[in-house]
Structure 1
Amino acid sequence: MTHRTNDNGVVVIGIDFGTTFTGVAYSYIRLDDRGLGDTDPEPVTLWPVSADEAPNFDSPKVPSQIAYQGENIIWGQLALDEQEPIRWFKLLLLDEKHLQPHLRNSDHLRQARKLIDQSGRDVVTVISDYLSQLWKHVLEVIARARGQRFLSANPLHVVVTVPAIWQDIPIQRMERALDKAGILSKRPGCPDTTHTFISEPEAAALASIHGHRRYDALEIGQTFVIADLGGGTVDLISFKVKSTRPELILEEAVEGEGGLCGATFLDQAFLVCLQKKIRRKKLQEKNLKSWQQMHELERKRITDALWERGIKRKYYNGQPEQRIDLGAQGNRRPYVVLDADDLDNIFNSVYNNISNLIHGQVQAILKKTGNLPEFIIMNGGFGRCEYIYRKLLEKYESHIEILLEANTKPWTAIARGAVLSGAAHVKNRVHIQSHISRFSYGWVKKEEFDHRVHDIEDHDTDELTGYSIARDQMEWIILRGDSVKTLSTQVYEYERYFEVDEVGFVSFSEPIYRSRLKCPPKRLAENEAQEGSLSKNIEAAEFRKHVIIDMKTPVPVEQLPRRGDAEHPHRLLIYRVEVNISGASLIIKATAGGRNIGEKTIYGLAEH
């Protein structure tokens, strides 16, 4: 039966693909509804499990892991340890040079690389295989809840969250994985599935304001911090309230921060301490099994039941020591003790980094606005950690509120926020009006030479026109620290010359450069020299060709107007470059004569 497409609404699906766990939420968005106050994202909580994992059947998230058994793909909770599942593969979307040294050489990533190599696949393929299985299951869940006819009759908009520390390359790889997974594939009888990206802390911000029902409590001018504590990354973003009526409008307050200091690093610190305790005990008790010699089920009991669902979530400084039962060994059950100092050291190994990141945001807001933020919202699975919550509560006392939703809501916040972001997108509305650019962006241009403005070293004569020009001048379209408005457009006009004997459509390209400096030099030569000569204790300019926009003449060159004299005849192309900010993305479109001649999207404008 053919179903008629519904033009009244869109099914928005938010995917929070995490380092250790993945969450999904969805909602049906009616296009004639007002605002997002009544939008109620529904997290997917039913996941396939093996018989041994039946108690975890209903869970807010599914493990980000996959195993290959011949031609079969086993994923999520179905992938058991004995099948050597690949984990942590999300971080391999980053180039190795962008990973912190201790993470680059970690056992987790070495194992992930080894298993991916053994599978004969690359990381994009592994992620696409995982997402393909996830997507099939999510569609089944929606069809079960709403009906197959509902699912078939409504267009889909997918929102995928990405860490704030990601830049263009990992996002582009993620987009390839989505396409390869079939998530963006055309569905018969329906409009194309559309998709957008949103940074994880931005999604967390939308969910937090929605979940804490702060719509009516917020006042214009107030600021707040979102601390998204995930498995691998911790991301911070801060917002200022621009408007509360008729809809909530936010603008990013200061440049965000982020780091690789999530829950998995706390897990590593626990295991290092535990194994050290076991080794010391083994010096007195020779028959004691080492951690590696213990049965896999006993190790899993300790890491899952005792640590993950017990100490990790519930411990806070000042509590009594924790006794770790090592399981049956002969006719006894030996144990080791982690005292308060041990546990404080474990938790402080990540808390200190998280605290420093939050402190940096608070101080930046205070410096810019003269006031402390009103509150700090903790999100993410790691955001439920009692130790971190209480330490922050103690640090900021009554000066700044620390907010934490109950139950599993912090863990599902990013997926729910992705749905809210998608709802705003399909309604063509903006709730985060502006972002702080983390980089300066620009391109090279020629200018008419002026000895009062230009360096004599840049003087040249254009071969085609004979004009006296200053070559290699930078046109910086966005500077680091700029507050750039979503859906705003800047327009630049340029001329390009061609030889009169050229024929046909001609392709050409222009590199777009990026610099970390707030006020990068106007000359290309100075940017290149500065990047090469900066000392280690000065912030690196990180000046480089970032992306290339490819263009083509709108008509054959011989149809372009002829200009110049007998000595310098040439063809002239006048084209416009439109720079549009959409969310945290930079959309660059070149047009000539009303035709699109080239387009490039730079993701991660507000990511660091």
Structure 2
Amino acid sequence: MAAPRIVIGVDFGTTYSGVAWATSNKPEQINTITNWNSRLNRNSDKEKAPTAISYSSSPPSWGYSIPLDEDPVRWFKLLLLDEEDLRSQVRSSTQVAATRSRLEQVNKNVVEVIADFLKELWAHVLVNIKRTIGQEILDLSSLHVVITLPAIWPAYAQGRMREAAAVAGILNQRPAGKTELSFISEPEAAALATMSDLSGRPDIQESDHFIVCDAGGGTVDIITYMVVETKPNECTRKRERRCAEILNIYKPVVADILELVSVQISQVKRKYRERPKFVILVGGFGKSRYLYQYLSLNIGEQIQILQGTGERPWTAICRGAATHGLNRGPGRKSLADGAEHHPAVKVWCPIQQQFLAVDQIKWFLQIGEEVESSKPVCHSFWQDLDAPLEGIVSELVVSDDLIPPCRWTGSVRKMCLIKWTDIPDFGKLPVWKNDSSKVVRQIYYDVKMVTDGGSLDFAVYYEGKRVASKNVSVSYERESGTD
């Protein structure tokens, strides 16, 4: 019998991180990683460990193993975002200021610190999986790692997280082959876990709507889902706020959460002419009895407020990430906006021997379009070559306009560059002659985009076959945020 595939869901949180895993032959059995190395015995069996690392020793101590008298690096997840993209209250918070100072002291950037933390976490995960299934089965099993990120973080944050995972050794070659890495938004992962927890309820029916409120240690995400074949389909755009140090002051935080939830309720009522059936609380702060009571008092007569017992709200995200990896997406649809940069100014092309328009844009997707995660969006490209090239670069752009412009304007900004190296032998490419009898070769290729909740991935195809990932790189541009 073939070895199972192992899916590992990583909830990389601002204050705490958790991991859940399952095997393809027992998908219903989702295991939560515990057995943490701890200075205090009572912490070893908790479902999450602090997202903290100390460089006072080598190797560094992390999580619960950090000595109480040391000053570890904390809150570094938020620094995945450029300063301009942090909300003003987070940018000016004491936690972020302290984290920046600690990074300078240890002479590391945020990707390096995240990589160091993930390296220790990953080693602990493998030890625990080995303890359960044995080294032989672990070596024979392919791995799929699913990392969660906040709902509306820009694409470059995912790129930095992917880099950190690679530096941490998560993608190292294994006996069973290459480890697959994908991403999912935190509330979407929570929704998947929630649907599993709610399975069998007679009041869950197709076309029902429910709101997932993921209140974590440093961020609050709110998304509404519609039930499609008892599986969630995102139906409103994501909203997020970062609460930072005001999480210690309950009333402003819960009032902020109520405002976000109320906006989602209004959007569902306006679009579908009915209220959501549930508001489901997950995340560390989602366990708060005060939050439950506050929402129940303000909207509980209209909508049921659901809060899991024990640690299930706290582990919902990593459990949902594992579920996502096992299902490889439940055929859901999601909203996306992307762009394909095409040549808006009249310019003479010496190869084509005609005037061409530059700065024109042809859009992959527009806001409000639905795309199935199982059906990539594909666009074809071609390029004339009069000499061999070391690589081909495609630039992709984005716009927040509901009706995006057909050419480059102030609302258009760069998103990423896709670079394809090791292109086919120049001498074997198709040949044509222009009007000046100049011999020119052409290369045709496709770029496919898959949007899957919190994940946005691109692949290059040549002659119907996917180009090896080692020859294709995607580098994201920084996006400017607003307060």
TM-score by length of 2: 0.91
d(CA) in 1 for partners of 2:123, 2:434: 62
- Asked if 1:462 corresponds to 2:346, the answer is no
Quote how far apart the aligned CAs of 1:596 are. 5.2
Quote how far apart the aligned CAs of 1:215 are. 6.5
d(CA) in 1 for partners of 2:166, 2:447: 27
d(CA) in 2 for partners of 1:251, 1:70: 46
Aligned to 2:239: 257
- Asked if 1:235 corresponds to 2:221, the answer is yes
Quote how far apart the aligned CAs of 1:113 are. 1.6
Quote how far apart the aligned CAs of 1:491 are. 3.5
Aligned to 2:4: 9
d(CA) in 1 for partners of 2:212, 2:331: 14
Quote how far apart the aligned CAs of 1:478 are. 0.8
Aligned-partner residue type, residue 87 of structure 2: Q
Aligned to 2:403: 519
- Asked if 1:49 corresponds to 2:33, the answer is no
Aligned to 1:201: 187
Quote how far apart the aligned CAs of 1:7 are. 2.4
Contact 1:587 1:599 in 2 (8 A): no
1:262-296: CA deviation from partner (whole Å, max 9, x where unpaired): 6x5322xxxxxxxxxxxxxxxxxxxxxxxxxxxxx
Contact 1:579 1:586 in 2 (8 A): no
- Asked if 1:119 corresponds to 2:106, the answer is yes
1:287-321: CA deviation from partner (whole Å, max 9, x where unpaired): xxxxxxxxxxxxxxxxxxxxxxxxxxxxxxxxxxx
Assess, with a 3 A threshold, how the Cα gap between structure 1 residues 10 and 252 changes in structure 2: closer, same or farther.
Answer: same
Quote how far apart the aligned CAs of 1:592 are. 4.2
Aligned to 1:90: 77
Aligned to 1:387: 290
d(CA) in 2 for partners of 1:210, 1:110: 39
d(CA) in 2 for partners of 1:116, 1:495: 45
Quote how far apart the aligned CAs of 1:22 are. 0.9
1:481 match: secondary structure:
coil
Aligned to 1:22: 17
Quote how far apart the aligned CAs of 1:133 are. 1.6
- Asked if 1:176 corresponds to 2:166, the answer is no
- Asked if 1:140 corresponds to 2:9, the answer is no
Which residue among 431, 444, 449 is the counterpart of 1:561? Answer: 431
Quote how far apart the aligned CAs of 1:479 are. 1.1
2:65 match: secondary structure:
coil
Contact 1:557 1:571 in 2 (8 A): no
- Asked if 1:441 corresponds to 2:351, the answer is no
Contact 2:144 2:179 in 1 (8 A): yes
Assess, with a 3 A threshold, how the Cα gap between structure 1 residues 590 and 68 changes in structure 2: closer, same or farther.
Answer: closer
Aligned-partner residue type, residue 472 of structure 1: D
Number of matched pairs: 473
1:303-357: CA deviation from partner (whole Å, max 9, x where unpaired): xxxxxxxxxxxxxxxxxxxxxxxxxxxxxxxxxxxxxxxxxxx322111211111
Quote how far apart the aligned CAs of 1:390 are. 1.2
Which residue among 365, 385, 395 is the counterpart of 1:478? Answer: 365
d(CA) in 2 for partners of 1:422, 1:71: 34
Percent identity of the aligned residues? Answer: 30
Aligned-partner residue type, residue 67 of structure 1: S
1:437-457: CA deviation from partner (whole Å, max 9, x where unpaired): 2xx3223324xxxxxxxxxx8
Quote how far apart the aligned CAs of 1:468 are. 3.8
d(CA) in 1 for partners of 2:377, 2:22: 34
- Asked if 1:373 corresponds to 2:276, the answer is yes
Contact 2:155 2:456 in 1 (8 A): no
Pairs within 5 Å for 1:83-482: 83-187=70-174, 189-214=175-200, 217-243=203-229, 248-261=230-243, 264-267=245-248, 346-425=249-328, 430-431=329-330, 433-437=332-336, 440-446=337-343, 458-482=345-369
Contact 1:93 1:173 in 2 (8 A): yes
Aligned to 1:509: 393
2:118 match: secondary structure:
helix
Quote how far apart the aligned CAs of 1:570 are. 4.7
1:12 match: secondary structure:
strand
The structure number with the bigger radius of gyration is: 1
d(CA) in 2 for partners of 1:65, 1:506: 42
Assess, with a 3 A threshold, how the Cα gap between structure 1 residues 559 and 392 changes in structure 2: closer, same or farther.
Answer: closer
Q: Which runs of 5+ in 1 are unaligned?
A: 1-5, 268-345, 447-456, 532-540
Stretch deviating more after TM superposition (577-586 or 92-101):
577-586
d(CA) in 2 for partners of 1:134, 1:559: 47
Assess, with a 3 A threshold, how the Cα gap between structure 1 residues 128 and 253 changes in structure 2: closer, same or farther.
Answer: same
Aligned-partner residue type, residue 443 of structure 1: E
1:542-600: CA deviation from partner (whole Å, max 9, x where unpaired): x21111122465331684312222x3635142524243325234444444444656756
Aligned-partner residue type, residue 516 of structure 1: D
d(CA) in 2 for partners of 1:141, 1:506: 44
d(CA) in 2 for partners of 1:60, 1:588: 34
Aligned to 2:65: 78
Assess, with a 3 A threshold, how the Cα gap between structure 1 residues 97 and 217 changes in structure 2: closer, same or farther.
Answer: same
d(CA) in 1 for partners of 2:376, 2:21: 31
1:475-500: CA deviation from partner (whole Å, max 9, x where unpaired): 0111122222212233333442234x
Quote how far apart the aligned CAs of 1:230 are. 0.4
Quote how far apart the aligned CAs of 1:95 are. 1.0
Aligned-partner residue type, residue 201 of structure 1: P
Stretch deviating more after TM superposition (148-157 or 55-64):
148-157
Contact 1:372 1:400 in 2 (8 A): yes
Q: Which runs of 5+ in 2 are unaligned?
A: none
Contact 1:212 1:405 in 2 (8 A): no
Aligned-partner residue type, residue 577 of structure 1: D
Root-mean-square deviation (CA), in Å?
Answer: 2.5
d(CA) in 2 for partners of 1:434, 1:64: 32
Aligned-partner residue type, residue 431 of structure 1: P
Assess, with a 3 A threshold, how the Cα gap between structure 1 residues 558 and 461 changes in structure 2: closer, same or farther.
Answer: farther
Assess, with a 3 A threshold, how the Cα gap between structure 1 residues 493 and 422 changes in structure 2: closer, same or farther.
Answer: closer
1:117-146: CA deviation from partner (whole Å, max 9, x where unpaired): 211222222222222222222222222233
From the two aligned structures, give the one with the greater strand fraction.
2
d(CA) in 2 for partners of 1:14, 1:260: 23
